[in-house]
């Protein structure tokens, strides 16, 4: 099983200043419309919502090229890759030597990065709610309209005109919290960053 609930998603893009009276959906859409390429470091922590007990922390690097292309490289304490490539999302657990492939439209529940990749129509698929300010960030919550979603909600934190954090609550009472740093915007990314071929000898599971 893929380690860590892959949430994540996409971060720290530089945007024009959003009007103070914009609705939460408008703020988020304005942010996404200006997204181009991005690379950033991230820190991810899992928290048990019931008792707020902090679990394992993971760090790595994230790459985004809109529309529809992203890559998560988990580096510590385990090695894992999540790559959007060829109409699929590939989950590669290096230590377990296991690859799982899902079609983009089937992977939404397990890969919240798709929510910000330009592949998902937010207004149709989510209720968008304002959560106010906390820790210096303006928070927007997306609640899936479908009961079949793999998560309860995703909350996105904006630092002025930047996306700075994300929280995801899954169906098992786990909260995944991600913060981004060292963000580089608008720099051309090598095309092969978003290409994936299963290494020889790994176990391959492809959902059809």
Q: Which CATH code fits 24-206?
A: 2.50.20.10
Angle at 119 between CA 144 and CA 162, to 5 degrees: 80
Kindly report the average pLDDT of the chain as a whole number: 77
> How far, in Å, CA of 88 to CA of 103, rounded?
4
Please check the confidence at residue 121 and state whether its pLDDT lies above 90: no
What digits encode the pLDDT tens for the residues 198-207?
A: 999 999 998 7
The runs of H, that is alpha helices, within 126-167 are none
Q: By percentage, how much of the chain surpasses pLDDT 90?
A: 22
Higher-pLDDT residue of 113, 92: 92
Higher-pLDDT residue of 89, 49: 89
Please check the confidence at residue 3 and state whether its pLDDT lies above 50: no
Residue 194 half-sphere exposure toward CB, CA atoms < 13 A = 21
Contact 73, 86 (CB under 8 A): no
Please state, in angstroms and as integers, the Cα–Cα distance from residue 123 to each residue in 24, 25, 57, 206, following that order.
11, 8, 32, 30
Q: Which of 14-23, 133-142, 177-186 has the lowest mean pLDDT?
A: 14-23
């Amino acid at each position: 099983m893929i380690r860590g609930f892959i949430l994540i998603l996409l971060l720290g893009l530089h945007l024009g200043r959003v009007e103070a009276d914009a609705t939460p959906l408008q703020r988020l859409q304005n942010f996404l419309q200006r997204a181009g390429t991005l690379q950033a470091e991230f820190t991810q922590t899992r928290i048990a919502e019931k008792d707020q007990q902090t679990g394992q922390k993971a760090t790595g690097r994230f790459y985004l090229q809109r529309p529809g292309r992203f890559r998560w490289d988990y580096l510590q304490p385990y090695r894992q890759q999540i790559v959007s490539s060829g109409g699929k999302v590939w989950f590669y657990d290096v230590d377990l030597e296991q690859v799982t492939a899902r079609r983009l439209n089937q992977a939404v529940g397990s890969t919240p990065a798709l929510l910000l990749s330009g592949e998902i129509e937010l207004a149709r698929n989510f209720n968008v709610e304002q959560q106010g300010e906390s820790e210096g960030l303006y928070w927007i919550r997306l609640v899936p309209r479908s009961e079949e979603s793999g998560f309860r909600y995703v909350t996105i934190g904006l630092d002025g005109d930047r996306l700075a954090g994300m929280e995801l609550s899954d169906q098992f009472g786990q909260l995944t919290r991600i913060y981004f740093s060292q963000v580089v915007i608008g720099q051309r990314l090598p095309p092969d960053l978003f290409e994936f071929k299963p290494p020889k000898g790994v176990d391959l599971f492809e959902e059809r």
